[in-house]
Amino acid sequence: MDNYIPVKIYVNNIKRDDATLHRLFFLYPKEDIYFEFTNDGLVVYLRELDFFNFKRNIQLLAKNSNVDTAKLLNSILYNIEKIKSYGLKGRKRLYVGYDKERKVKNRIEKERIRGTYYYAKDNTFSRQNNKIPEQFVNKIITGDSEEILKQFPENCIDLIFTSPPYNFGLEYDNHKDGIDWNKYFNKLFVIFKECIRVLKYGGRIVVNVQPLFSDYIPIHHILSDFFIKNKLIWKGEILWDKHNYNCKYTAWGSWKSPSNPYLKYTWEFLEIFCKGDLKHTGNWKMADITGDEFKKWVYARWDIPPEYNMKKYGHPAMFPEPLTERVLKLFSFKGDLILDPFNGVGTTTAVAKRLSRNYIGIDISDEYCKKAEDRIRNTQVNTSLF
């Protein structure tokens, strides 16, 4: 059920209870085609369709409908008819995956032989998800995540989104940054082990990191290796391109020589892992991502400027709200419980509140936690989403 192509239909003042519209889609299984309303119309999700049968039904229904409904039905037909790339299976047009079969012969059989995420199959995670005690929900907690997380039951968090300190040597309030790499990783691994424990079966952890290129330490690979060894499923990697080009030409390594050129990056990484299952169970009515957002954000290179308000918040390493909004809408449902164990001044928790998620933010600095609480108090729940 994952792969559909979204077809956006713009309509002013759409009537959500339009019986004819619902009757049309009732004729087809959700595996093939379904639709969802958006603020400015609807999105039709299309996988496969007997197009001429669909066209006939639309024409029949439109003939017996009022002007607005007929216009809407014809617009749906027009937008689907416009799609000229598809495969054929009997009478059906296949809109998804039809070209894969051609490039790799017997693709399905080869996939079966290879198997998926072999490294995580022998996990021993419990499938029993648990409720966390209310005292922790929608709270900002000051303390060391290693200690605080021990108080949570296992399998209780839907999504963890976080960015640990990168060990670059930044000036945090009371965290010492820039220590021996072994000590740094040992501490991170202890905290991330707790994160894995508290994550629900089917929950996700998304970690934003920037390797320290000048030390030749690929933090994103080292952390990914840790999660894989701890039996999480690698779901993917997002390149967050900040386009901070002023960093680009400051260090050359060996100028105009292959002896030791120094590579520069304008992006950071988001590593995404799942516990037990790639699918996260939830009510689809609680999904708040629009068709346009979905279409854009599943392409895993995100162009988002860095946070410009770090001085205002008095924190040296924040990620921006638009990045958080994408992660939360793409990987969690409204009402889910979101945890950030390195919450800083609370970007994750403020966005979670705005998007009607529950949240828990932990940071070792009391000063940052107070700012995160202020931010929560000043954040309104986004009612335009409902």
Ligand X SMILES: C[S@@+](CC[C@H](N)C(=O)[O-])C[C@H]1O[C@@H](n2cnc3c(N)ncnc32)[C@H](O)[C@@H]1O
Q: Return the residue of 40, 144, 241, 374 that touches ligand X, per CB under 6 A.
A: 144
Q: What is the DSSP string of 13-69?
A: T--TT-HHHHHHHHTS-TTTEEEEEETTEEEEEESEE-HHHHHHHHHHHHHTS-HHH
Count of residues in contact with ligand X, rule CB under 6 A: 21
Q: Return the residue of 242, 315, 329, 334 that touches ligand X, per CB under 6 A.
A: 315
d(CA 242, CA 248) in angstroms, rounded, equals 12
Nearer to ligand X, 146 or 277 (CB): 146
Question: Helices 347-354 and 321-331 meet at what angle, rounded to 10?
Answer: 60
d(CA 364, CA 296) in angstroms, rounded, equals 35
Nearer to ligand X, 62 or 304 (CB): 304
Contact flags string 258-297 toward ligand X, x per CB under 6 A: ----------------------------------------
Nearer to ligand X, 58 or 196 (CB): 196
CB of 348 to ligand X, least distance (A): 6
Q: What is the DSSP string of 78-101?
A: HHHHT----EEETTEEE-SSTTHH
> What is the helix, strand, coil percentage profile of the chain, to 5?
35, 20, 40
Applying CB under 6 A, the span of 160-168, 198-206, 209-217, 292-300 interacting with ligand X comes to: 160-168
Q: Is 145 in the site for ligand X (CB under 6 A)?
A: yes
Which tokens go with 293?
A: 């957002």
Applying CB under 6 A, the span of 4-12, 40-48, 60-68, 139-147 interacting with ligand X comes to: 139-147
Q: Return the residue of 368, 369, 373, 375 that touches ligand X, per CB under 6 A.
A: 368
Contact flags string 170-199 toward ligand X, x per CB under 6 A: --x--x------------------------
Ramachandran area for residue 319 (φ above 0: left; ψ -120 to 50: alpha; else beta): beta
Nearer to ligand X, 219 or 362 (CB): 362
| CA distances (Å), origin 225, targets 84, 132, 228, 271 | 42, 29, 5, 11
Paired residues of 268 in beta bridges? 240
d(CA 71, CA 349) in angstroms, rounded, equals 43
CB of 2 to ligand X, least distance (A): 29
Q: Return the residue of 201, 269, 319, 333 that touches ligand X, per CB under 6 A.
A: 319
CB of 113 to ligand X, least distance (A): 42
Q: Is 40 in the site for ligand X (CB under 6 A)?
A: no
Nearest of 239, 371, 258 to residue 313 by alpha carbon: 371
Cα angle, residue 349 at apex, residues 345 and 350 outer, rounded to 5° = 80
Residue with tokens 């030409």, as numbered in its chain? 249
Q: Return the residue of 198, 227, 365, 373 that touches ligand X, per CB under 6 A.
A: 365
Applying CB under 6 A, the span of 52-60, 138-146, 215-223, 252-260 interacting with ligand X comes to: 138-146
CB of 66 to ligand X, least distance (A): 50
Asked if 206 and 327 count as a contact pair (C-beta separation under 8 A), the reply is: yes
Nearer to ligand X, 73 or 345 (CB): 345
CB of 131 to ligand X, least distance (A): 24
Q: Return the residue of 38, 69, 163, 167 that touches ligand X, per CB under 6 A.
A: 163
Residues 334-353 binding ligand X (CB under 6 A) are 342, 344-345, 347
CB of 292 to ligand X, least distance (A): 26
Which tokens go with 221?
A: 């690979």
Which tokens go with 15?
A: 């009537």
Residue of this chain nearest to ligand X (CB atom): 344
- List interacting residues with ligand X (CB under 6 A): 144-146, 163-165, 172, 175, 315, 317-319, 342, 344-345, 347, 362-365, 368
